[in-house]
Each structure stands twice: as C-alpha cells, then as structure tokens.
C-alpha cells in the first residue's frame, strides 16, 4: 500500500488559521467532495492510486493532511497525540474507527456519541473538551470532509457548557441519547456530562407529557375533521385538515425533542429537522423518500389552495390515500412517545441508588 509521508512543521498559534484559510481558498467545497470521493473509490477498488492522473489527488491529500496537522498543533496535545497518521488507506479515511482517529487529533474532542445502529449511516453528537474556547465554525469543515465516506450521516458539534446546561434543564432529546451506551469515544481526561437525577427526569417527563397531550389533542380534532369532509365529499377541505394533522404531529415532537418550537408550516422543512431528532417518524408516508416528499408537497399545496384558490380540486382517491398515511403517522406518534418515556424511566432508574428504587417505582406508577 502506498503512503505519503507528511513532514510535521512547527507552527505558532496562528499558523493553523492561515493554513486553513489558504486551503479553502484554493479548493472549493465541490473540489473537496469530488477529490475525496474519487480517492475513496479508487482505494475501494484497487487499494492504491493508479494511472497518471493521480498526482492532483495526491497533492490535494498532502495539503489536506498538513492543514489538519497544523490545526492540531494549536491544541494542547502531546506530540504523539497530535500527529496524524498520514498513511492513506481505506481504514484511515473511510471506516468509522479511522474517522474517529482523525477527528480526535484534528479537533479537541471530549466525547463522541453515536445514536445510529446502522453501520453505513452515522448519527454523531460530538462534544468538545471543556477547556476549548474556539468557535464551532472553526471545526465544521473538518467534520464535513471527514464524513464524506458516509453521505447519509448526521453530525452535530456542541460545546461542553451548552450540553451540560441542556442536561441540567432536562432536555428530552439529549437526556435520552447522551448516555453511556451511545459513547463511541471519550478522551481519558474529558469531564463527563452531569447526571440529571430523578427530579430532573420527573420534571422533564411531566413537561413533555403536557406538551404531547395538548398538541395531539389538536391533531386529533383535525384528523376527525378530515374524515368528516371526506364523508361529505368535500375533498379540498379534507386535505387542509390532513395537512394540519401532520404539521401538529411533526411540530409536537420537534418541540419536545429540541426544547423549542419551529415557526414553520412547511412539512418538508419540519421533516428535514425531524430526521435529526426523531428519524422514526420519517418514512411513514413511503419508504421511498422522493415519494414521501411528493405526498407532503400535495398536503402543503392543499394547505394554501383549499382556502385561496377557487379552482383547486383533488381526487377522492388521492385524499383517501393521504388520510391512511396521515392516520398512520398520528397513531405511530403515540407509540413512539411511549417508547421515549420508557427509555427515560429506565435511564433514571439505572442511575438511582439501590435503596431508593422502590420509591422511584411508586413515583413512576403515579406518573403513568
């Protein structure tokens, strides 16, 4: 296997910023994507660079690794930790372990959580070290490039202070996913996120139940309204009611999981945000994403045209199909919420001292 030896250069505190700036001034995001995808494809097929057209890609790789080494030099690592293994191979650039190895040397990472159970699709939450005071923007391009081998993956970067506050406030999403079983990397000196404790979980569950009950009650009213208009043969208003049912269901979960509402009526925008926090609610209209997006576009069109476009019409067959799908979304929301509540209960119970377990079980029975 060929490898390209990159000579580590001593730099001062600002050199990594200059190297980073020069690199992204020379290569566009499109260039970066195309070069790395071409290199990865080449190594998957042949495990080495082939032909006379590989020099540009090799030069690009050398500059990229120099930039990452320069960026790492600004962090307080030992010389051994700081130097990136520059052997260009399938392992270091495509497999998950290689990506983690690269990231932890280029970015001052404390902990990485992976929420996905699919090998080819990552869902990462990266927490910077507590002492890191740099802007998150400094590291975003490094993360984007590192994950090009996983095009369908999701990754969010957070400061330690932000996630600590979210955990102490009982954020539903982070409390349920930033747990030990999801940890795929933690630096030995990294401070762990705080244990929210039973009282925080209790308040979180109560608050989320109140939101869920209120929003799904509204969604139920619109779903019943859609059925009324379908039976009456007024299909245009039925579509409006179905759009409202889907919107309220999407926004309900986004409010619960994110901790704040999204002021938006577009189902496609809400769905895009939902994929990060509650991916289980996507793919209900259709496992084919394009087909699901088409269904959502029909609902969005009906949301406006049913009220303002006097020439708007829609067939009974289309409305009946949409009703079945929206009703399935509505029903699945209750199952998903119950599962999320159970996960929080289990996590809280596992963290409590053994002598308080009986009291906790009694409290959960009261909350149920």
* pLDDT above 90 for 23: no
Query: Rg of the chain over CA atoms, in angstroms?
Result: 25
Domain range annotation of the chain: 1-94, 105-194, 198-367
C-alpha–C-alpha distance, residues 105 and 85, integer Å: 9
- DSSP summary character for residue 107: S
Residue-level pLDDT at 232: 95
The CATH number given to 198-367 is 1.20.120.330
User: For 68-120, what is each residue's pLDDT tens digit?
Assistant: 555 545 444 444 443 434 333 333 445 677 777 777 777 889 999 988 877 77
* pLDDT above 60 for 27: yes
Q: For 281-347, give the DSSP string.
A: GSSSS-SSHHHHHHHHHHHHHHHHHHHH-TT----HHHHHHHHHHHHHHHHHHHHHHHHHHHHHHHH
Contacts of 114 by beta carbon, 8 Å cutoff, 6+ apart: 122, 123, 124, 182, 184
Give buried/exposed letters for 9-18 (b at 16+ CB in 10 A, else e). Answer: eebeeeebee
User: For 167-191, what is each residue's pLDDT tens digit?
Assistant: 888 787 887 788 888 898 898 888 8
What percentage of the chain carries pLDDT values higher than 70? 67
User: For 115-172, what is each residue's pLDDT tens digit?
Assistant: 887 777 788 899 999 888 777 777 877 777 677 667 677 788 889 998 888 888 878 7
Q: Which of 92-96, 294-298, 306-310 has the highest mean pLDDT?
A: 294-298
CB distance 171 to 148 below 8 Å: no
Of the candidate ranges 131-145, 260-274, 328-342, the one whose mean pLDDT is the lowest:
131-145
* pLDDT above 80 for 333: yes
């Amino acid at each position: 296997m060929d490898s390209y030896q990159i000579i580590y250069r001593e730099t001062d505190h600002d050199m990594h910023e200059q190297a980073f700036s020069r690199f992204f001034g020379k290569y566009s995001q499109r260039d970066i994507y195309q070069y790395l995808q071409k290199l990865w494809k080449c190594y998957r097929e042949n495990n080495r660079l082939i032909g006379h057209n590989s020099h540009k890609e090799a030069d690009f790789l050398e500059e990229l690794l120099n930039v990452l080494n320069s960026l790492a030099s600004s962090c307080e690592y030992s010389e051994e930790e700081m130097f990136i293994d520059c052997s260009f191979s399938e392992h270091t650039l495509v497999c998950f372990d290689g990506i983690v190895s690269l990231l932890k040397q280029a970015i001052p990472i404390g902990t990485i959580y992976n929420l996905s159970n699919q090998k080819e699709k990552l869902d990462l939450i990266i927490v910077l070290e507590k002492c890191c005071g740099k802007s998150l923007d400094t590291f975003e391009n490094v993360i984007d490039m590192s994950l090009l081998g996983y095009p369908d993956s999701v990754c969010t970067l957070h400061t330690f202070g932000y996630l600590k506050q979210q955990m102490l406030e009982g954020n539903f999403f982070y409390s349920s996913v930033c747990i030990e079983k999801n940890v795929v990397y933690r630096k030995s000196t990294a401070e762990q996120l705080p244990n929210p404790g039973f009282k925080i979980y209790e308040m979180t569950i109560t608050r989320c139940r109140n939101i869920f009950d209120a929003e799904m009650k509204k969604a139920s009213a619109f779903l019943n309204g859609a059925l009324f208009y379908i039976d009456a043969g007024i299909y245009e208003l039925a579509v409006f009611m179905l759009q409202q049912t889907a919107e309220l269901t999407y926004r309900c979960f986004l409010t619960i999981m994110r901790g704040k509402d999204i002021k938006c009526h577009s189902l496609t925008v809400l769905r895009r945000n939902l994929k990060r926090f509650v991916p289980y609610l996507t793919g209900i209209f259709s496992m084919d994403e394009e087909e699901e997006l088409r269904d959502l576009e029909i609902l969005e069109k009906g949301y406006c045209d049913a009220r303002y476009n006097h020439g708007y019409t829609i067939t009974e067959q289309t409305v009946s199909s949409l009703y079945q799908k929206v009703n399935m979304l509505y029903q699945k929301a209750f199952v998903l919420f119950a599962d999320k509540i159970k996960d929080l209960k289990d996590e809280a119970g596992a963290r409590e001292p053994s002598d308080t377990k009986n009291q906790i079980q009694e409290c959960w029975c009261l909350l149920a």
